[in-house]
C-alpha cells in the first residue's frame, strides 16, 4: 500500500509541475479552455511515463492488483481535487464540477480515466513482453 501511495504523490508532483508550466508558458498566450485541454493532454503523457516506470519497477502481481492500483489513484485524485481545491483553494463545488463537463470541452475526466486504466494497460504490456 505504501508504494501505491508514494507513487500517487509522484503523480501529484508531476501534475503540479504540469500546471505550473501551463500557467507560466502557453497558458498566457491561449484561451483558458485551450490551455486546459493542452495541459490535460500533456498530463496524460507525463503520467504515462511515471506509471510505466512504476509498473516496470514494482510490477503488480496480477491484473486485478493493477486495476486496484489505478482505481485507488483515481479515488485519491478525485478526493484531493474536491477537498483541496474547495477547502484550501476556495473554489465552489459548481466550479469544481464544471471540470467534468466534456460537452463544454473540459478534458479532466480523461485524466481520471487514464489514471484508472494505465496501470492495467502497462501491466498487460509488460506481461506480454515477458512471454
Grid coordinates representing 106 are 473540459
* Contact of 73 with 115, CB cutoff 8 Å: yes
Dist. CA 67–CA 9, nearest whole Å? 18
Dist. CA 84–CA 102, nearest whole Å? 22
- Predicted pLDDT at 44: 98
Report whether pLDDT(123) > 80: yes
Grid coordinates representing 82 are 474536491
pLDDT, tens only, 60-79: 999 999 999 999 999 999 99
Dist. CA 90–CA 6, nearest whole Å? 27
pLDDT, tens only, 7-46: 999 999 999 999 999 999 999 999 999 999 999 999 999 9
* pTM of the complete model beyond 0.95: no
Domain extent for 86: 2-130
Dist. CA 80–CA 68, nearest whole Å? 18
Mean pLDDT across the stretch 46-54? 97
- Total domain count, the chain: 1
Burial of 68 (0-12, 13-18, 19+ CB in 10 A): middle
Q: Using 50, 70 and 90 to split pLDDT, how confident is the model at 57?
A: very high
Amino acid at each position: 500500500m505504501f508504494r501505491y501511495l508514494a507513487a500517487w504523490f509522484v503523480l501529484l508532483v508531476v501534475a503540479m509541475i504540469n500546471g505550473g508550466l501551463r500557467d507560466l508558458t502557453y497558458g498566457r498566450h491561449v484561451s483558458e479552455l485551450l490551455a486546459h485541454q493542452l495541459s490535460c493532454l500533456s498530463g496524460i503523457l507525463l503520467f504515462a511515463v511515471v506509471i510505466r516506470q512504476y509498473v516496470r519497477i514494482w510490477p503488480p502481481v496480477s491484473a486485478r492488483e493493477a486495476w486496484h492500483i489505478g482505481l485507488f489513484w483515481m479515488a485519491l485524485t478525485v478526493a484531493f481535487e474536491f477537498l483541496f481545491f474547495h477547502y484550501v483553494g476556495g473554489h465552489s463545488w459548481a466550479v469544481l464540477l464544471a471540470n467534468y463537463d466534456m460537452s463544454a470541452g473540459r478534458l479532466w475526466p480523461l485524466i481520471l480515466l487514464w489514471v484508472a486504466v494505465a496501470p492495467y494497460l502497462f501491466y498487460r504490456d509488460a506481461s506480454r513482453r515477458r512471454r
